Structure 1
Amino acid sequence: MDEKQPSWIAAHVHMYEYFGGVARILVPDNCRTAVDHNKGWKDQRINAVYQEMAEHYGTAIIPARVRAPKDKPNAEGSVGNISTWITAALRNEQFFSLSELNRAIRQKLEVFSHRPFQKKEGSRYEIFRNEELPLLSPLPATPYELAEWKQATVQFNYHISFAGMLYSVPYEYIKRKVDVRVTDKTIEIFYNHNRIAFHRRLYGRKGQYSTVTEHMPVSHQQYLEWNGDRFRKWSERIGASTYQVVDAILTSKRVEQQSYRSCMGLLKLADKYSVDRLEAACRKALSFTSTPSYKSIKNILDTGSDQIDLPDKGAATVSHTEAGKSSHALTRGADYYRR
């Protein structure tokens, strides 16, 4: 469809499938999709993705020299033959899809390959079958899958982000820059050229996590037997305010498992202070913020402020009639502020 890398790589994959084997050497032109840098014959740098494809098929890439068509004369000659026998033959036909055009090209190609030579015996197909096919290396078990390379920084939650999804790496690599190899099916993560993580690629709703247990710190692994629903059900038995606080803590982290320690600590406060006091402390904390933390609830219980009634929101408003009854009607007094 174009001369970009996906089309370039796909053409090679289809070529090998058609041949039923792999040539030991590839001799491409010096196009950008093949060579990144070329100042001379001795300084050629193969494109990283193209090199990876070659390694997958076990072949070597030796680009032709710039403006040196004799490096691949057979290929240059075939371009003219293909143009005459296939492209020109189809120039007056109309196609409504790429697959339809490819079928027509394939038919012309079969005729072209089996067409007898004019000055010698046999055909192109017979030469390929008898002389070249036995020399080809076998195809790998799976065809090469085009990969995209990205760089990412491991986040504090030992995950990297790609296309709105998060994938775990061993927690020791937090804050490190890693290389990410992405295909349609897989996510591979490398550090210093060593693969440290592998995931199936996620699709669908953004924000999904793929987390490997071994990547988690030991302190997080011990809570794997727990889950958010279990903490919610436990908190619901204590009271509505406790449930609301636990739900807020569970949704406060990008990885739910990272909030389990706080949930466990919060609910265990009921053993030390009683279920009623924990519920009262949660209710008091929710009057200040919709997202209380474990620490704020513990502070309320430690200071005993959960046992003091919440101030009436209407206490500061006194009618003119009530104010007239006492010269101190608008004064709350030291006891109020002592709370």
Structure 2
Amino acid sequence: MPLYIYSDMANILDPMDLKQIITLHLDGTSNRRIGSILGISRNTVNTYMQLFAASGISLEELLVFENADLSELFSSHTTVDTERHNELMLYFEGVNQARNHPGFTFLHHYQQYVEQAQEPYSYTQFLEHYRRKYPKEKGSMKLDHLAGEEMFVDFAGKKLHIINKGTGELIAVEVFVAILPCSQYTYVRACMSQKRSDLISCCTETLRFYGGAPKAIISDNLRSAVNRASKYEADINRSFKDFARHYNCVINPTRGYSPQDKALVENAVHLVYQRIYYPLREMTFFSLEDLNKEISILLKSYNNLLFKRKESSRIELFQSIERQYLKELPAQSYELKDYKRAKVQKMGYVYFSPDNSYYSVPHRYIGKETSIHYTQSRIEVFYNQERIALHQRNLTRGSYNTNKDHLSSTHRFYSDWSPEFFSKKAALHGEHVLKCVEKIVTSQDYPEIGYKRALGVIQLYRAYGSQRLNDACKRALDTDACSYSCIKNILKNNMDKVPLADGQPEQAQPHIPFHSNIRGASAYQ
């Protein structure tokens, strides 16, 4: 039975967000802190935690639920009155403009609001909604960072360069910077672009460098990380979310127009310019690997430098304080996922366009629209957020990849098709039938097409007998017209009964080449 969400705020979360709430809660994070990290209200977090408890299922079990099952269990139903809420938000605009007037009181404006509203909120709710819409501005302050809590990532504004050995072209490369704010332990890596694949690859290498994962990754609002930037609730792209889920952490982009959110990583970038860029200024590199090798040498020295006001270095603070609070990494590194949509074809396969190949799904999904999640090593097919097929990725272009369990009883017969299968069947009707079938099967790029045509040729014996079929196939081979339609027309027009002139090749008999559209004399009797 689904559990419904009744809330005074229309904040509907998808299954991946629910799993982020569970992950942070299991790490001992308070509901208020979870709301702050994920950019949602504390009340929403409280509501979901109550629903989790009411379900009678442990948080650890909920964490391994399929997205579809989690979505069905915690149905996204809300009782918010949008019109009533919007009316209050519009009224607040006038209230806020009068905020600095002498003698201003919320009670005065609340009384005016009650007189004009059809269904006014209570005074307590009135104040709560106002504070949510217009939170108090806080002055700058030094932030205390907890060990293992966060990791800041960003790309440096200035680029480094490598040289193409063949052309001498100077190629600009991006520089990725990550920092653990508690110990300020830093990681730097050069990559070819700021695209999603490079960002996730750099984050993967960063976690391997640290030997653990933080609770949250704080990124700038990069296009490779965020689909839609927002000061309060950014829309993170699904690949980056999936990456975070793999490492049991969450993504929390910085707020737009809030430089204090990323001051630490920007200061780290400035120091990278001094400690890494400057020593590299007169060096020449012909590959990204060579550049990263030199960066790692300089980075080691940088992390070993003593802080001016502390009697320790970044690496010492990391090893003594922060390392123990990082989460263990999974056994396998994350593989970047991409996504495609595909309709299940009548033969029970989905077409995978990147490789021009086909993968089977259970036959009951024929005609359904599916989502393909793929990595370099595997293909997953989902229908309504439920995985219905899993295959090892076959990089051979045009390949058909079949799981026999997906086939209906009718289709299982076709799965046994092979050149040997048809050769055995054709040999029963004569040597010319065998040669003709072998030629048909080997002439097609896609074997299943050849198999169907070969089966059609063999089945002609039912109507005309094996001897006539063998003679017709001989005539088709002699005229180089070896196809199902030509052999069928030879038999239909009784051309297999016309004797060939001795010692004269068939090709020399008519002055017009044989074609299936040309009718013989028997058609006019």
Task: State the TM-score, normalizing by the size of structure 1.
Answer: 0.79
- Asked if the contact 1:157–1:255 (Cα under 8 Å) also holds between the matched residues in 2, the reply is no
Structure 1 unaligned residues grouped into runs of 5+: 318-334
Task: Supply the AA of the counterpart residue of 1:77.
Answer: N
Which residue number corresponds to residue 73 of structure 1?
Answer: 263
Counterpart position of 2:401: 210
Q: Please give the per-residue CA displacement for 1:72-125, whole angstroms capped at 9, x wherever unaligned.
A: 332222222222111122212222222121111111111111112221221111
Select 2:213's aligned residue among 13, 22, 26: 22
Find the aligned partners of 2:523 and 2:293 in 1 and give their Cα distance.
87
Q: Secondary structure at the match of 1:51?
A: helix
Aligned pairs (5 A) from 1:1-339 = 1-41=192-232, 43-159=233-349, 160-162=351-353, 163-204=355-396, 206-247=397-438, 250=441, 256=447, 267=458, 274-280=465-471, 282=473, 290-292=482-484, 297=488, 305=494, 308-309=497-498
CA contact (8 A) 2:336 2:375 kept: yes
Per-residue deviation, residues 261-289 of structure 1 (Å, max 9, x unmatched) = 77567646658865313324555788796
Q: Which residue of 2 aligns with 1:326?
A: none
| Counterpart-to-counterpart distance in 1, 2:267 and 2:493 | 92
CA contact (8 A) 2:230 2:255 kept: no
Deviation at 1:177, TM superposition (A): 2.5
Question: How many angstroms apart in 1 are the aligned matches of 2:411 and 2:449?
Answer: 7
Aligned equivalents of 2:500, 2:280: Cα separation in 1:
88
Q: Distance in 1 between matches of 2:409 and 2:447?
A: 16
Deviation digits for residues 129-186 of structure 1 (CA, Å, limit 9, x no counterpart): 1211111111111111112212223233322233222222222333332222222222
CA shift at 1:223, angstroms?
A: 4.8
Residue by residue over 1:289-313, the C-alpha shift from the partner in whole angstroms, topping out at 9 and shown as x without a partner, is: 642169x85x988x89588547999
**Letter of the structure 2 residue corresponding to residue 61 of structure 1:** I
Q: Distance in 1 between matches of 2:510 and 2:463?
A: 33
Contact 2:220 2:262 in 1 (8 A): no
1:23-59 deviation line (CA, Å, top 9, x unaligned): 1101111111111112431x32101111111111111
Greater alpha carbon shift after TM alignment, 139-148 vs 8-17: 139-148
In 1, the alpha carbon distance for the partners of 2:416 and 2:241 equals 45
Alpha-carbon distance, 1:315 to partner: 8.7
Indicate conservation of the 8 Å contact 2:493/2:522, yes or no: no
Question: Would the aligned equivalents of 1:220 and 1:258 in 2 still touch at CA under 8 Å?
Answer: no
RMSD: 3.5
What is the identity, as a one-letter code, of the residue corresponding to 2:211? G
Flag the 1:314–1:20 CA change in 2: closer, same or farther, 3 A: closer
Query: How many angstroms does 1:69 deviate by?
Result: 2.2
Report how many residues are paired: 317
Give structure 2 stretches of 5+ with no counterpart: 1-191, 502-507, 513-520
> How much does 1:255 deviate?
6.2
Question: 2: distance between equivalents of 1:245 and 1:153?
Answer: 36
* Cα distance in 2 for residues equivalent to 1:338 and 1:288: 26
> Secondary structure at 2:382's aligned position in 1?
strand
Asked if structure 2 preserves the Cα contact closer than 8 Å seen for 1:280 and 1:306, the reply is: no
Inter-partner Cα distance in structure 2 for 1:277 and 1:32: 69
Pair 39,112 (structure 1): closer, same or farther in 2 beyond 3 Å:
closer
Residue 144 of structure 2 corresponds to none
Q: Which amino acid aligns with 2:408?
A: P
Quick one: structure 1 residues 97 and 272, their matched pair in 2 at CA, closer, same or farther if it must change by over 3 Å?
closer
Residue 336 (structure 1) shift: 5.4
TM-score scaled by length of structure 2: 0.53
Check whether the contact 1:239–1:279 (CA below 8 A) recurs between aligned residues.
Answer: yes
Query: Distance in 2 between the 1:253 and 1:283 partners?
Result: 21
Kept in 2, the 8 Å contact 1:235–1:246? The answer is: yes
